[in-house]
Amino acid sequence: MFSQLAAMPSSPGGDARPVERRWSLRWVQMVSRLGGVVNLIKTAAEVASAGPSADRLRSPVLTGNPGEEGMIGAQALVRTLTGCGVDVCFTNPGTSEMHVVAALDAVPPMRGVLCLFEGTATGAADGYGRMTGRPAAALLHLGPGLANGLANLHNARRAHTPLLAVVGDHATYHKQFDAPLESDIDALAGSVSAWVGRPLRGADVTAGAATAVARAMAPPGGVATLILPADVSWSEGAQPTPSLPVPPLVPVSDEKVGYAAAALRSGEPCVILLGGEGMRRPGQEAANRLAQATGARVLGETFPSRHERGAGLPAIDRLAYPAEIAIAQLGDVRHLILAGARAPVSFFAYPGKPSCLVPAGCQVHLLAEARDDVGGALAALADLAAPDAKPVPREEERPALPDGELTAESAAAVIGALLPERAIVADEANTSGLWLPEATAGAPPHDWLTLTGGAIGLGLPLATGAAIASPGRSVLALEADGSAMYTISALWTHAREGLDITTVIFSNRSYAILGMELDRVGAAAAGGTARNLLDLSQPSLDFAALARGMGVPASRAATAAEFAGQLRRALAEPGPHLIEAIVPALGQRPGRGVTGPAL
């Protein structure tokens, strides 16, 4: 169709735009006008009674005052979003989102970032939201596009990231025909969203958008999904809506602070478990004061959204992923004080092992949950129970650059030795990340972003969003090979946007953690077929070639010295780079004293 349009004569006005673009825009405008007429005829009530599809419209139908002539829904939507502080849109659009795409030209402050898979768009929006505290938009195509992006929306939900998913849908009057892309968007969106809304008229779209942004940012932060019917986005008569107030963090009562203080003064073993906002500098410093004054131990949740750490901050270990190690870390604790974290549970159930990791006889004190003012609660507690204590910052201390063979352990030492100040680490190194926390703990201050929801395929997109959110900061994606393949196309976005991201692929050529989990769940009798399903070596993936094929300069390191040289160069040079670090899989090298994986 587009080749026919391109052959049409140019307009007499001498428009300088390429002929294909002029005609495709006219075509879009023509369809738009037609759609506007149809939309005026159809009312929300008609749609809601339109047969089999009607029960799919479960999200609140948004209505408001009709707007004035002049702006179509999509343009007013984008203007509303930029007015609400949403100015980056990670997108993988389709036909039903074309008006929103076209509106990006009309509203220049909105930066559109093309992602070649929806999981990259949603993971990037997660990285952006974690670093800015503001939502980015992820523009997705109907139910299937949303479904492709769902795993990373799940991770974002677990991270309490403010994120706006805009999901295009069929025109309201078209849904009754059950066209091929028709599906239950509401059901999909509901599984990850704090709020789902569906405007049914152009005039209502911006009220929906402003509400969505406010709901995404409402403490503790979450995914808000705006389902946007195509005719709503092309209808005229929409007006931008100003931003809505965002509710503040919930203050923590003196009573809760008092209970926690009493526990700390009890003389019995106490652990303060930090999570969410508690993993930022103010919360850690207050907790460290409490540790100085009362002898309580401080731990961080296993998979924090954003952990500020390094020299100049208090040293805080995270609760380990393997339940056995977490239980040992908690030891004989009698009082567990939760500050932004949930009571610890085992990641999975294992036959004969407990799901709840709180030791028997331990009292749990909920000082602050995620939506509360966690930092404020910890500061109030420190002022009460540790008024004279000062936080003790960790000194800068880096490992020596190692020599010899490249392993996950020596690679961690290289990373610890070279990590730049204010770096942002997107950590999906999985089993190869076991040595990273210790090797980087004394590096200059940096942010550490983790796989909050355990759904792999987050690291490369997370780095994308973090880099766009934080120009001038070095981003390091530490990525296991199996996980990298889920969203490998993020590398193309790294190259296209010229992002300063160094990706390290820990190429252990296996799903190493699952090899261990086979044993841990008691399926140890698994034979060659089962083990083969966890093997990535035949054929082995050539990550350097994959990266080059997407425009990212790449190299491969097989020794510690090679890795150090390549990492130093990649970090010094702006723009994206990839280093494929060939490392043995954890567990394949007997005698290394490994107690468990880091995922």
Ligand X SMILES: Cc1ncc(C[n+]2csc(CCOP(=O)(O)OP(=O)(O)O)c2C)c(N)n1
Q: Give the interface with Mg ion as residue ranges (CB under 5 A).
A: 480-482, 508
d(CA 127, CA 124): 5
Is residue 514 a contact point for ligand X (CB under 6 A)?
Answer: yes
Q: Which lies closer to ligand X via its Cβ, residue 470 or residue 508?
A: 508
> Residue 384: which residues within 8 A CB-CB, separation 6 or more?
257, 258, 261
| Contact in structure between 317 and 300 (CB atoms under 8 Å) | yes
Nearest to 106 by CA among 80, 85, 84, 124: 80
Question: CA gyration radius for the chain?
Answer: 26
d(CA 546, CA 578): 10
d(CA 468, CA 477): 14
| Least Å from the CB of residue 202 to Mg ion | 49
Is residue 507 a contact point for ligand X (CB under 6 A)?
Answer: no
| Contact in structure between 205 and 76 (CB atoms under 8 Å) | yes
Nearest to 57 by CA among 167, 200, 268, 156: 200
| Contact in structure between 459 and 506 (CB atoms under 8 Å) | no
Residue with tokens 């901050």: 313
| Contact in structure between 89 and 110 (CB atoms under 8 Å) | yes
x/- map, 402-431, ligand X, by CB under 6 A? ----------------------------xx
Q: Which lies closer to ligand X via its Cβ, residue 78 or residue 455?
A: 455
Per-residue burial over 314-353, b if 16 or more Cβ lie within 10 Å, else e, is: bbbebbbbbbeebbebbeebebbbbbbbeebebbeebeee
Q: Which lies closer to Mg ion via its Cβ, residue 110 or residue 480?
A: 480
89 to each of 124, 137, 401, how far by Cα in Å? 10, 5, 40
78 to each of 25, 104, 383, 463, how far by Cα in Å? 18, 7, 45, 25
3-state secondary structure of 428: strand
Q: Which lies closer to Mg ion via its Cβ, residue 268 or residue 535?
A: 535
Q: Which lies closer to Mg ion via its Cβ, residue 192 or residue 480?
A: 480
| Contact in structure between 496 and 551 (CB atoms under 8 Å) | yes
Is residue 117 a contact point for ligand X (CB under 6 A)?
Answer: no
| Least Å from the CB of residue 431 to ligand X | 3
Interacting residues with ligand X between 333 and 392 (CB under 6 A): none
| Residue 451 interaction partner, one of ligand X, Mg ion, none, beta carbon < 5-8 Å per kind | none
| Residue 432 interaction partner, one of Mg ion, ligand X, none, beta carbon < 5-8 Å per kind | ligand X
Q: Which lies closer to ligand X via its Cβ, residue 33 or residue 592?
A: 592
Q: Which lies closer to Mg ion via its Cβ, residue 230 or residue 480?
A: 480
| Least Å from the CB of residue 511 to Mg ion | 6
Q: Which lies closer to Mg ion via its Cβ, residue 76 or residue 462?
A: 462
Indicate the residue type of 360. A
| Least Å from the CB of residue 305 to ligand X | 17
Span interacting with ligand X, options 65-73, 197-205, 307-315, 451-459, rule CB under 6 A: 451-459
Is residue 121 a contact point for ligand X (CB under 6 A)?
Answer: no
Is residue 303 a contact point for ligand X (CB under 6 A)?
Answer: no
Six-digit token pair at 329? 């870390």
Q: Which lies closer to ligand X via its Cβ, residue 107 or residue 163?
A: 163
| Residue 566 interaction partner, one of Mg ion, ligand X, none, beta carbon < 5-8 Å per kind | none
Is residue 153 a contact point for ligand X (CB under 6 A)?
Answer: no
Indicate the residue type of 118. E
| Least Å from the CB of residue 583 to Mg ion | 9
Give the residue, chosen from 72, 270, 339, 455, that forms a contact with ligand X under the rule CB under 6 A.
Answer: 455
| Least Å from the CB of residue 87 to ligand X | 29
Is residue 126 a contact point for ligand X (CB under 6 A)?
Answer: no
In degrees to the nearest 10, what's the CA dihedral of 568, 572, 576, 578?
-10
| Residue 455 interaction partner, one of Mg ion, ligand X, none, beta carbon < 5-8 Å per kind | ligand X
3-state secondary structure of 579: strand
Nearest to 191 by CA among 302, 59, 47: 59
| Least Å from the CB of residue 597 to Mg ion | 11
Span interacting with ligand X, options 77-85, 454-462, 491-499, 518-526, rule CB under 6 A: 454-462
| Residue 513 interaction partner, one of ligand X, Mg ion, none, beta carbon < 5-8 Å per kind | ligand X
x/- map, 540-579, ligand X, by CB under 6 A? ----------------------------------------
Give the residue, chosen from 417, 441, 512, 550, that forms a contact with ligand X under the rule CB under 6 A.
Answer: 512
| Least Å from the CB of residue 90 to ligand X | 19
Six-digit token pair at 493? 């976005």
3-state secondary structure of 384: helix
Q: Which lies closer to Mg ion via its Cβ, residue 225 or residue 508?
A: 508
Six-digit token pair at 332? 């004989």
Is residue 474 a contact point for ligand X (CB under 6 A)?
Answer: no
Residue whose C-beta lies closest to ligand X:
482
Q: Which lies closer to Mg ion via its Cβ, residue 253 or residue 537?
A: 537
Is residue 221 a contact point for ligand X (CB under 6 A)?
Answer: no
Of the chain, the end-to-end C-alpha distance in Å amounts to: 49
Binding site for ligand X (CB under 6 A): 151, 430-432, 454-457, 480-483, 508, 510-514, 599
